[in-house]
């Protein structure tokens, strides 16, 4: 009896320690963030003091590969812990959606007793979502299908230009309408030229990302007495174009000299990629200055959130994660926008700032953005069946200095896919392959396919193994207005 009593006491103490050791998580996701345009990633002139500080307090993953080259494929892969070829969502224009009651890692966290919340823009494709419904009904679908206890979701800023998000369908638009300034902002967006500056006509507090961060901070203020840990996912719209931030941020870069763009080099590239490259398609210097201005405003908002965590006492038991859904070309290689597999698009400048592990670490080996899903379900001790559902790997061993299993990272879109390790990147287009030597050619200028045939062969074999052993490969279907049904990405 005495032995049984002691054992019971030990079990109770152990359970109590496990409960107290369960951290909160705040994950901030940027939109279209070029990883090379941040101070802690090596940019020479950008002002990102808050993110630089967060990076110094945590672990920086300099080679985190996103799974899709646009918002919808990347975000739906992350939340489901699967690849675009599993979801069928290869592009924003895809007509595919998530199946009813699909697995998501927030739902797994909720089953493990974690309170889950979502704030901000999203590009999720939950079953049963109807864009014609009110935002209250749409957020109910997000809660039911994706596993959030609380959802405060809205559209991106670009939708304002076409009045696609009237007040009854978007909480940010309702906020503007209630203040009597909705039409003023819509008019400014409507007059814009694509990719060119917009003079933001409102106060800084009325910017959409200010609204998102302020709403999230208000929600955090109500969590002080919560006994169970929470997982809060915040989706920002910055630094997605157009360049529309308040003038004070633009003034920071008005006369700044920027490094030249990575030059365009078409030799040895598939024609489908080379044809997109344009010599000076627009003034890249002014474009990049506006882009840096948006990044600095984003940095200030991240700083406001982290400062709140510090002042409220949450920081000591909260893991802060910073990621991007994908990046954007800003004139490098003669390209703009996304959909490309250069590091400016395919890398997420990921930070995991853990109160107890990994301070000041930098990881250069490849990981995948969907590894976040495995990390979360493992961290919170979810059911083993839930842990097995994601294709990711747990990142905590890298924070603790332990071993890590992933050797290759993958990404894909309609007609293209990619595999890379720490040394080489193989991109397969329908009309040819590219092999980049990432050690000797970090700017990805020269296709060395003919110089390293054995490396290319090995990477093709590893890629085929990945496709064969990573679940169903669904076709790529585009919406009717974008053209006919398309074939899925090449798998050779």
| Residue 170 · residue 155 · CB < 8 Å | yes
Q: Is residue 12 part of a domain?
A: no
Q: Is residue 489 part of a domain?
A: no
| Closest C-alpha among 413, 438, 441, 414 to residue 426 | 438
Average of per-residue pLDDT across 377-394 = 98
Structure token digits, residue 372: 């976040």
Q: How many helices (H) and strands (E) does the chain have?
A: 17, 15
Q: Is residue 458 part of a domain?
A: yes
Task: In whole angstroms, give the CA distance from residue 241 to residue 56.
Answer: 28
| Closest C-alpha among 153, 149, 150, 123 to residue 138 | 153
- As for how many domains the chain has, the answer is 1
- The CA–CA distances, whole Å, from 318 to 15, 217, 312, 427 equal 20, 14, 11, 38
What pLDDT does residue 218 have? 97
Per-residue pLDDT for 2 more than 50? no
Average of per-residue pLDDT across 207-220 = 97
Domain that holds residue 291: 22-482
For 80-122, the pLDDT digits (tens) are 999 999 999 999 999 999 999 999 999 999 999 999 999 999 8
Residue ranges with strand state E in 258-328: 318-324
Average of per-residue pLDDT across 12-40 = 77
Q: Is residue 13 part of a domain?
A: no
Q: Is residue 16 part of a domain?
A: no
What pLDDT does residue 13 have? 35
Average of per-residue pLDDT across 455-462 = 98
Q: Is residue 412 part of a domain?
A: yes
Task: In whole angstroms, give the CA distance from residue 155 to residue 161.
Answer: 12
Q: Is residue 8 part of a domain?
A: no
Q: Which residue has the tokens 């975000």?
A: 75
| Closest C-alpha among 232, 190, 238 to residue 211 | 238
Task: In whole angstroms, give the CA distance from residue 290 to residue 292.
Answer: 5
Q: Is residue 410 part of a domain?
A: yes
For 235-271, the pLDDT digits (tens) are 999 999 999 999 999 999 999 999 999 999 999 999 9
Which CATH number does the domain housing residue 376 bear?
3.40.720.10
Per-residue pLDDT for 282 more than 80? no
Residues 6 or more apart whose Cβ sits within 8 Å of residue 26: 232, 234, 305, 309, 318, 319, 320, 321
Helix (H/G/I), strand (E/B), else coil: 454: helix
Residues 6 or more apart whose Cβ sits within 8 Å of residue 332: 261, 262, 342, 344
Task: In whole angstroms, give the CA distance from residue 35 to residue 17.
Answer: 38
């Amino acid at each position: 009896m005495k032995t049984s009593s002691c054992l019971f006491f030990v079990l109770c103490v152990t359970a109590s320690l496990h409960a107290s050791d369960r951290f909160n998580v705040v994950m901030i996701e940027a939109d279209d963030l070029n990883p090379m345009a941040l101070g802690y990633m090596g940019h020479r002139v950008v002002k990102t003091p808050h993110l630089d500080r967060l990076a110094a307090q945590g672990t920086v993953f300099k080679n985190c590969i996103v799974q899709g080259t646009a918002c919808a494929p990347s975000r739906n892969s992350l939340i489901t812990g699967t690849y675009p070829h599993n979801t069928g969502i290869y592009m924003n224009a895809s007509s595919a959606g998530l199946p009813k009651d699909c697995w998501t890692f927030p739902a797994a966290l909720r089953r493990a007793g974690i309170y889950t919340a979502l704030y901000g823009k999203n590009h999720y494709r939950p079953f049963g979502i109807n864009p014609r419904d009110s935002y209250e009904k749409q957020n109910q679908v997000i809660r039911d299908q994706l596993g959030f206890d609380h959802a405060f979701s809205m559209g991106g800023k670009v939708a304002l230009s076409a009045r696609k998000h009237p007040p009854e369908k978007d909480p940010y638009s309702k906020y503007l309408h209630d203040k009597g300034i909705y039409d003023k902002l819509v008019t400014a967006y409507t007059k814009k030229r694509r990719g060119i500056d917009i003079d933001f006509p409102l106060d800084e507090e009325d910017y959409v990302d200010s609204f998102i961060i302020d709403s999230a901070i208000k929600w955090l203020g109500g969590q002080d007495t919560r006994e169970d840990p929470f997982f809060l996912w915040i989706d920002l719209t910055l630094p997605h174009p157009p360049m529309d931030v308040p003038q004070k941020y633009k003034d920071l870069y008005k006369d700044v000299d920027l490094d030249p763009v990575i030059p365009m080099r078409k030799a040895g590239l598939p024609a489908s990629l080379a044809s997109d490259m344009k010599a000076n398609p627009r003034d890249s210097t002014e474009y990049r200055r506006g882009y840096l201005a948006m990044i600095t405003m984003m940095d200030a908002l991240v700083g406001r959130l982290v400062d709140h965590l510090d002042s409220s006492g949450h920081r000591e038991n909260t893991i802060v994660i910073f990621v991007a859904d994908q990046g954007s070309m800003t004139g490098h290689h003669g390209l703009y926008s996304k959909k490309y597999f250069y590091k400016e698009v395919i890398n997420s400048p990921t930070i995991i700032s853990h109160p107890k592990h990994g301070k000041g670490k930098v990881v250069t080996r490849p990981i995948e953005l969907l590894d976040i899903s495995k990390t979360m379900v493992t961290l919170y001790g979810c059911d083993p069946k839930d842990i097995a559902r994601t294709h990711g790997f747990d990142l905590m061993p890298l924070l603790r200095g332990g071993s890590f299993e992933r050797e290759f990272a993958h990404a894909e879109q309609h007609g293209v896919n990619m595999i890379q390790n720490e040394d080489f990147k193989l991109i397969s287009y329908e009309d040819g392959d590219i092999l980049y030597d990432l050690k000797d050619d970090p700017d990805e200028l020269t296709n060395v396919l003919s110089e390293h045939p054995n490396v290319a062969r090995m990477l093709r074999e590893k890629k085929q193994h990945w496709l064969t052993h990573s679940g169903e490969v669904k076709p790529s279907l585009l919406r009717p207005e974008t053209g006919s049904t398309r074939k899925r990405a090449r798998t050779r």
